[in-house]
Amino acid sequence: MDIAILGFGTVGAGAYETIRDSHCGLNVKRILDIRVPLGFEHIVTSDYNEILDDPDIELVAEAIGGLHPAYEFVSAALKAGKHVVSANKHLICHYFRELHALAAEHHCMLRFTPSAGGGIPWLYNLQRQKRCDEILWLRGIMNGTTNYILDAMQHLGSQFDEVLNTAKALGYAEADPSADIDGLDVRRKCAISASIAYDTALSEEDVPTFGIRNITRRDIAYFDSLGMTCKLLGCARRDGNRVIAYVEPTLLPAGAIESSVGTNYNCITLFGRKVGRLSFLGQGAGKYPTGCAMVQDMLDIAAGIRFPAPTITQVVPDPSIYPHRYYIRTSAHVPDDIAERRDGNVVMTVPLSVTDIHRFASQAQNTDPRIFLAGLEDNIE
C-alpha cells in the first residue's frame, strides 16, 4: 500500500524508519514537511495537494500535532477517500465526533492508537475488547513525564523542579510542560479512551482535572508512611447512561500494579465484565514506540481489519457518580462535614464526588494556591 506521512518530526521519522527497516509491505510515497532533509528530496513535498491528488496514496499518516492545519489535512484526506492514521491526541479529542462521521461517510478507516499510550496498543485493545465485553472501568498512568517526576521524588528523593528539568532534557515533556504537570495531556488521552469505551464523545471540558504541580517531598514522605504510592491517573467508568472521566493524583496501595511502574513508563488498564483486568505497560511516548504504533495501525488498515464505527449515544458526562475519599494538604479551612481524619494540615476526607472536591479546591485555592490533593484508590483488582 502507498502511503504519505504528514510531518517529519520525531514521530513521523519514527514511523518512516520503522517502515523502511521492517519491509512490511508499506511504501512511503510522499512525506509532507516544509523542511527537506538531505537525501529525502525525492519524496518530501511542502504541497499537500500532491498527496491529496495522488490516487495511488491510499492512506495518510498524520504526525504534525496540534489542531491546525492537522484538522484541515485529515478531513481533506477522508473526503478524498483516503484512510487516516493519526498520533495527534489534541486533534482526535477535539474532533472525535466529526472525524468519525467523515470517515463513515467516505467509507474510510480512521485509526489513532498512538494518540493515547504512545507505543502501547492500548486504544487498539480497548476497541477490540469492547466488541464483546462491557468495560466496567478504565484507569491508567498515561503520561511519562509526570510518572518520571513522581517516581524520582519517591525513590531518589529528588526535588520537583530539578526532576522536571531532567524530564525536559530527556525529551519526555511537552513543549510547554504545564500540559504534563497540570494533567492536560492526560485529560485528552482520558477523554479519547472514555469516548471509545462508553460510546460517547467527551470533550476536554468534560474531564475534571488536577495535576501534580503542587506536590512536595513532604507529601510523598507522608504517603510512604501510609504504604501508599502517588500516581497521576486518568480514570473513567460508566453508570447507566452516565459516565465519569477525571484526572487526578491518586494514592494506591503498594500492591497495586501501577505502584511499581517506574521512570517514564505508562500503564493503562481496562476492567471488562467478562475478561476482568487487562493491563498494558510500555513506553507512552518516543520516536520508535509511537512510530511503531502508527505503523501497526497502517498495517491493520492494509489488512482490512475494521472496528465497528463508534455509535455515539446519549451517554452524558456526570462527575458526581463515583464518590471516593481524598487526601488534602492545605493551609485553607477544611469544613468538618467533609473531614474524616485530620493530621496537622493534612485531611483525609469522607467520600466526595469529583464535583464536590473541585468545588472545594477552587475555593480553597483563593487562600492556599499551593494546595495539593489526591484521590484514594483502594481497589487493586
Chain residues binding ligand HSE by CB under 6 A are: 118, 143-145, 172-174, 180, 185, 284-285
The pair phi, psi for residue 245, each rounded to 5°, is: -135, 130
| Nearer CB in complex with ligand HSE: 145/158 | 145
| Nearer CB in complex with ligand HSE: 143/154 | 143
Q: How far is the CB of 341 from ligand HSE (least distance, A)?
A: 34
| Nearer CB in complex with ligand HSE: 145/269 | 145
Set 82, 89, 189, 231: catalytic member = 189
Question: Scanning the structure block, which residue is given the C-alpha cell 463508534?
Answer: 310
Question: Scanning the structure block, which residue is given the C-alpha cell 489526591?
Answer: 374
Q: How far is the CB of 180 from ligand HSE (least distance, A)?
A: 5
Cα four-point dihedral sign 293, 279, 211, 260: negative
* Closest to 285 (Cα-Cα) out of 189, 190, 215, 192: 189
Q: How far is the CB of 177 from ligand HSE (least distance, A)?
A: 8
| Nearer CB in complex with ligand HSE: 64/108 | 64
Q: How far is the CB of 286 from ligand HSE (least distance, A)?
A: 8
Q: How far is the CB of 125 from ligand HSE (least distance, A)?
A: 18
Q: Which three cell numbers stand for residue 268?
A: 493503562
* Closest to 334 (Cα-Cα) out of 349, 323, 324: 349
Angle subtended at Cα 324 by Cα 246 and Cα 135, rounded to the nearest 5 degrees: 55
The pair phi, psi for residue 108, each rounded to 5°, is: -115, 165
Residue 168 annotated among the catalytic residues of the structure: no
| Nearer CB in complex with ligand HSE: 48/172 | 172
Please enumerate in sequence order all residues whose Cβ is within 8 A of that of 277, keeping only pairs 6 or more positions apart, or say none.
269, 270, 271, 381
Please enumerate in sequence order all residues whose Cβ is within 8 A of that of 381, keeping only pairs 6 or more positions apart, or say none.
271, 276, 277
Active site residues: 189
